[in-house]
Amino acid sequence: MKYFLFLLSFSITFISTGLKADWEYSSNGLQSGNVLSFTEKGNIIFAGVEGSGIFTSTNNGQSWVQSLQYGNIYSLTANSNAVFAANCIGYLPNISGEIKRSLNDGVSWTTTGFTDLWVRAIAANGNNIYAGTTFATGGGYLYISTNNGTNWNPVSIGSGVFSLAIEGNTIYAGTYYQGVYRSTNNGLNWNQTSLNNQYVVSLSCSGNNIYAGTYYDGIYCSTNNGSSWFHPSLNTGKVYCIISNVNCVMMGTVYGVYVSYDLGLNWIQRNEGMGNYDIYSLFICNNYIYGAEAVFTEGFFRKL
């Protein structure tokens, strides 16, 4: 099976008024592969593709150029100085990980001093960069760089880290069957939240609202920084990705895209124009929403 990159582009007014248009297909310049991650820097959008490296677009996803020619890019992030890519080479159990860094907006990439196995998540907060890893056994570390990715130091949470989200100075880590951990001192110390027995593969936060997507049990939501959680009565199975702001949360699932306008209490399925396929990544940039879907060819969708 090949995979699609979909560009779901709408005006950001969807946050308050609702989604009205269908998804629109686009594929110019993309190679086949599951699109696992997005980020932006300036007017450039970066897309990380399984098996095909990194692609960039300067026209809101209308066309794409390959920037890095190899790897499985599970996560991307950027700060004012650089773009960072979590790259896994090979597949379990024979897998190695690296973090690539570009200081010139994707023109060239270098390998940082990070070395570990499966690096699944990366996030930036100023010059502090956080990388989550896991092993085949489920263990792993959170790595922290305080000098823009030049050096890395491991911190043990007690489980492999599959997802990261940052709100202000608070960092959240989604782990392998240990739920969500939280740090309020730049990742030096961590406390397990009351969501403590789930395999959390995706995270998003906006203010006090935290959303955790699990591997088997759908989404969990918190409105108090993770102190307590509720589980909506929605059978979505795996939640691959989540994006959110103060008015809206959207998740990509095995049944397509769902949107909530009431902090995760109620959900609406919004797959107009693309069907009920797995949605692997979602991203908001420049009044567009971008999403990647598993289908039988390669391409990209966008929605206005």
What is the structure's pLDDT at 26?
A: 67
What is the structure's pLDDT at 195?
A: 97
Would you state the structure tokens that stand for residue 144, as one six-digit string? 């922290």
Burial profile 131-158: b = 16 or more Cβ within 10 angstroms, e = fewer: bbbbbeeeebbbbbbeebbeebeebebe
Distance CA 183, CA 198 (A): 18
Q: How far is CA 228 from CA 124, 220, 224, 240, 249, in A?
A: 26, 10, 7, 22, 18
Higher pLDDT, 234 or 5: 234
Q: Give the pLDDT confidence of 187-197 residue by residue, as tens digits.
A: 999 999 999 99
Q: Where are the domains of the chain?
A: 4-303
What is the structure's pLDDT at 21?
A: 58
| pLDDT at residue 16 tops 70 | no
Q: Residue 31: which residues within 8 A CB-CB, separation 6 or more?
A: 49, 52, 55, 66, 298
Higher pLDDT, 96 or 147: 147
Mean pLDDT of the chain: 86
Residue 19: pLDDT band with limits 50, 70, 90: low
In percent, how much of the chain has pLDDT > 90?
61
Q: Give the pLDDT confidence of 105-142 residue by residue, as tens digits.
A: 999 999 998 877 789 999 999 999 999 998 767 788 99
Q: Residue 275: which residues within 8 A CB-CB, separation 6 or more?
A: 256, 295
Higher pLDDT, 286 or 297: 286
> Per-residue DSSP letters for 71-113?
SEEEEEEE-SS-EEEEEEEEETTEEEEEEEEESSTTS--EE-S
Would you state the structure tokens that stand for residue 112, as one six-digit string? 């940082």
Distance CA 195, CA 206 (A): 18
CA gyration radius, the chain: 18
| pLDDT at residue 261 tops 90 | yes
Distance of CA 75 to the CA centre of its chain: 6
The DSSP call for residue 50 is B
Query: Measured in Å, how far apart are the chain's first and last C-alpha atoms?
Result: 28
Which residue is it, tokens 């007014």? 13
**Residue 172 bridge partners (DSSP):** 165, 182
Q: Is the dihedral of CA 286, 69, 300, 199 positive or negative?
A: negative
In percent, how much of the chain has pLDDT > 70?
87
Residue 260: count of CB within 10 angstroms of its CB: 20
Prediction pTM value: 0.91
Residue 14: pLDDT band with limits 50, 70, 90: very low
Residue of 57, 64, 26, 28 lying closest to 43 (CA atoms): 57
| pLDDT at residue 38 tops 70 | yes
Distance CA 252, CA 218 (A): 10
Q: Which CATH number fits domain 4-303: 3.30.420.40, 2.130.10.10, 3.90.1150.10, 1.20.58.340?
A: 2.130.10.10
What is the structure's pLDDT at 265?
A: 95
If residue 56 lies in a helix (H) or strand (E), which one and from where to where? strand 53-57
Which range (101-115, 256-270, 281-295) has the least confidence?
Answer: 281-295
Higher pLDDT, 159 or 26: 159
Burial profile 167-178: b = 16 or more Cβ within 10 angstroms, e = fewer: beebbbbbbbeb
| pLDDT at residue 270 tops 50 | yes
Q: Give the pLDDT confidence of 148-206 residue by residue, as tens digits.
A: 999 999 998 989 999 999 999 899 999 999 999 999 999 999 999 999 999 999 999 99
Q: Give the pLDDT confidence of 205-245 residue by residue, as tens digits.
A: 999 999 999 999 999 999 999 999 999 988 888 999 999 98
